[in-house]
Amino acid sequence: MFLCHGYASLSATAPLEPFRFDRRDLGPTDVRIAIDYCGVCHSDLHVARNDWQDTMYPFVPGHEIVGRVTEVGSGVSKFKVGDMAGVGTRVESCRTCNSCRRGLEQFCEVGAISTYNSFDKHTGAKTYGGYSEYIVVDEDFVLILPANLDPAAIAPLLCAGITTYSPLMHWKVGSGQKVGIVGLGGLGHMAVKFAHALGAHVALFTTSPSKREDAMRLGADEVIVSNNPSEFIAHRDSFDFILDTVAVDHDVNAYIELLKLDGTMTQIGAPKGPLAVDALKLMSRRRSFAGSQVGGIAETQEMLDFCGKHSIAADIEIIKIQEIEHAFSRMLKSDVKYRFVIDMASLKE
């Protein structure tokens, strides 16, 4: 075992604090990564506060991990010491079920091992996330990073990036299509960049007219203010695809009727309760209402390569680990452009 320093929450009401724990010894196919940067995802906060009623304390958040390889097991072939490397939301899966064989580890039928708040496949111990000094992960779940991008701005690609890229790929978004992105936060700003790079006509739906300029800068072709019904009427029956990143309860039917024949609206934000979907609005144009979550390892690598090729990374604000509670409270107010990333060097301060 190796001693590792990090930050943990010890209960649903306690702020994160310095915490020491053990990481497993390197197995033959393991890579040890010294963490340089870790993105701050909404899930980190949800789990820290036990919003999903399944948190095992102490809890170390962080699943947008970027760092440098400091040690490799005897059988590792993909990485060598000194390489940049990334880890996302999953660190293992059963590898044999139908989903795993299709490269869809996020839908592992046995249950993939999450980077945090899960149980290590090798030791049975709890998994701890990236708000820490280093992490030990099997090389098959470690990503190769594009060399031409700012490593800090790559970190959010490991969750927010793949969560938006995967549905755009699955529903084959491309040129000649009209695509809507609902919400301009950590997820939404990545979705706008990807949909634009894929050649689609991109419309951003937001409740804040003040985001118009920023959305256009990020790649939107138009901005629709979502609490202005008159703006909606003009867009009825016109969208091929709408990606909804909003994680609070909202009226999805107003968007569904903007889809044209056979159009799909996909939910990647997760409101707490069930959403009310008007079946008649689906039936009248053979529309689909769907969901998606992150992406498999192969697709995550494909997304990172795509980002390297198109020079796409997240827009970030760098913070110190000591500022995490302040960052959480700003995140709750959507007061971040567009993702906080922790500079892990601050752990030593």
Q: Which residues bind Zn ion (CB under 5 A)?
A: 41, 43, 93-94, 97, 100, 108, 110, 159
Cβ proximity to Zn ion: between 155 and 203 the closer is 155
Torsion of CA 39, 42, 43, 49, to 10 degrees: 120
Query: CB-based contacts of 222: which residues, under 8 Å, 6+ apart?
Result: 202, 203, 204
> For residue 264, which amino acid is it?
T
Query: CB-based contacts of 173: which residues, under 8 Å, 6+ apart?
Result: 179, 195, 198, 200, 240, 241
What are the Cα distances from residue 63, in Å, to 258, 283, 294, 342? 34, 39, 12, 12
Specify burial of residue 33 (Cβ count, 10 A radius: 0-12, 13-18, 19+).
Answer: buried
Q: How far is the CB of 296 from Zn ion (least distance, A)?
A: 10
Distance CA 67, CA 135 (A): 9
Distance CA 5, CA 136 (A): 13
Q: How far is the CB of 231 from Zn ion (least distance, A)?
A: 31
Cβ proximity to Zn ion: between 95 and 285 the closer is 95
Q: How far is the CB of 336 from Zn ion (least distance, A)?
A: 14
* DSSP-assigned beta bridge partners for residue 151: none
Q: How far is the CB of 139 from Zn ion (least distance, A)?
A: 18
Cβ proximity to Zn ion: between 199 and 291 the closer is 291
Cβ proximity to Zn ion: between 90 and 211 the closer is 90
Q: How far is the CB of 27 from Zn ion (least distance, A)?
A: 19
Cβ proximity to Zn ion: between 106 and 226 the closer is 106
Cβ proximity to Zn ion: between 259 and 341 the closer is 341
Phi first, then psi, for residue 107 (nearest 5°) are -115, 25
Cβ proximity to Zn ion: between 220 and 312 the closer is 312
Q: CA 132, 137, 141 angle in degrees (round to 5)? A: 120
Q: How far is the CB of 89 from Zn ion (least distance, A)?
A: 6
Phi first, then psi, for residue 203 (nearest 5°) are -110, 130
Q: How far is the CB of 248 from Zn ion (least distance, A)?
A: 17
Q: Counting every residue, how long is the chain?
A: 349
Cβ proximity to Zn ion: between 26 and 97 the closer is 97
Q: How far is the CB of 99 from Zn ion (least distance, A)?
A: 5
Structure tokens, 306: 């795509």
